[in-house]
Amino acid sequence: MPGTYSHIDQETGLKEIELQDDEPAAVLAMLRFLYGLPYEADEAHWHDGKTMLPHAQVYTVAEKYELENLKVQVHKNMVKLIQFSGDKPDLIETIREIIYQTPDTDTMARKLLIDHCVQFLSVLSKHEGFVALLEECGALGAAVITSQQAARRAK
C-alpha cells in the first residue's frame, strides 16, 4: 500500500511512517485507540457531535489496518448518531466514504448506512446529492434495492 511503509530518511536518519492517504484526525483516533485510550464519539478536538463523516473516516482507517475492535467501537457510535440523526449535513459524504472504502462484505457500517437509506429512501431521494451518489455508484443502488426487497419479504 502506498504511503504506509517505514523507511530511514538518508539525511536525518529518522524512521518515519507516512500515512499520506489517511485523514489525520482518523489516524489520531486510531493511534489513541492503539495506546489504550477509548474511542469516544464526543471528542471535541475532531468531532462536533452533529456529523458522521469523522466516524466513517476512522472506520475506513480501522478497516485498512485490520483493527476489528476499533471498527466495532466506531460502529457503536455511528449507530447512536444515526438513531438521533435529524439532519446530518454530511450523510451523503459519509455514505460515499463507507461505500468506496470498505469491502462489499462489510456487515457493520456499510449495512447500517444501507439500512438507513432503505428506511428513509423517500426523503433521501429528494436530495440531489443522494440521487447523484446512486447514479455514481451502482453498487450502492443495487445494495439499497436488494435490502429493500429483503425487508419487504421479511414482513
Residues 50, 95, 127, CA angle at the centre, nearest 5°? 80
pTM across the whole model? 0.81
Give the H or E element holding residue 7. strand 6-8
Q: Which three cell numbers stand for residue 82?
A: 444515526
Contact 41, 81 (CB under 8 A): yes
**Per-residue pLDDT, 86:** 56
**Per-residue pLDDT, 70:** 95
59 CB contacts (<8 Å, ≥6 apart)?
71, 74, 75, 78, 98, 102, 108, 109
Q: Nearest Cα to 70, choosing from 105, 99, 34?
A: 34
**Per-residue pLDDT, 72:** 95
**Per-residue pLDDT, 111:** 95
Write out the chain's pLDDT in tens, 155 residues: 333 334 455 666 666 666 678 888 888 899 999 999 988 755 544 555 567 899 999 999 999 999 999 999 999 989 988 876 556 778 899 999 999 999 999 999 999 999 999 999 998 989 889 999 999 998 899 999 998 888 888 87
- Helix then strand then coil, % of the chain, to nearest 5: 60, 5, 35
